[in-house]
Amino acid sequence: MKCPPNAKKRKIVIIGDSHARGYAAEISSGLGKDFEVTGTVMPEARLENITNLADEEVSTLGKSDTVIVIGGANDINKNETNVGLKHLRKLIKKNRHNTNIMIVTAPHRYDLQ
């Protein structure tokens, strides 16, 4: 699907911890020039930090745009999974009518029991 030359590109904003590294480039190359894809990587970030930045970004987006949140491994590492989930719920509840929000699950931590 090609956008007309003067049409507004759909935006995809990726925000995450170190596991999000490289996602924006991969998604951008797969989607082509019809989408504007940006990524912010915050190594060692907790879901609170990631969702706070995502909340700021949502205010600049429309209903056809998407925010992708990647994180949670550092919350799991500190045995605070429920704290991370609380921040995700808050982000979704506040912004579910403004734009599309995608959550990427935290990778499995093999170093924890």
What is the per-residue pLDDT across 35-74, written as a single tens digit (0 to 9) for each? 999 999 999 899 999 999 999 999 889 999 999 999 888 8
Give me the percent of the chain exceeding a pLDDT of 70.
87
Name the average pLDDT for the chain.
86
Domain range enclosing 80: 10-104
Q: How far apart are CA 98 and CA 74, in angstroms?
A: 28
Answer whether residue 96 is part of any domain: yes
Q: Does residue 4 register a pLDDT over 80?
A: no
Q: Is 60 part of a structural domain of the chain? A: yes
> Looking at the domain assignment, is residue 1 inside a domain?
no
Question: Is residue 19 one of the residues assigned to a domain?
Answer: yes
Sign of CA dihedral 19, 111, 52, 66: positive
Radius of gyration of the chain (CA): 15
**DSSP states of 76-100 as a string?**
HHTT-HHHHHHHHHHHHHHHTTTSE
pLDDT in tens, 83-96: 888 989 999 998 88
Residue 5 lies in a domain: no
Split into its structural domains, the chain has a count of 1
Taking 90 as the threshold, does the pLDDT of residue 32 lie above it? no
Burial of 13 (0-12, 13-18, 19+ CB in 10 A): buried
> Cα torsion at 110, 21, 16, 11 (round to 10°)?
-140
What pLDDT, on the 0 to 100 scale, is given for residue 50? 93
Residue 21 lies in a domain: yes
Please report, for the domain that includes residue 80, its CATH number.
3.40.50.1110
Question: pTM of the prediction?
Answer: 0.82
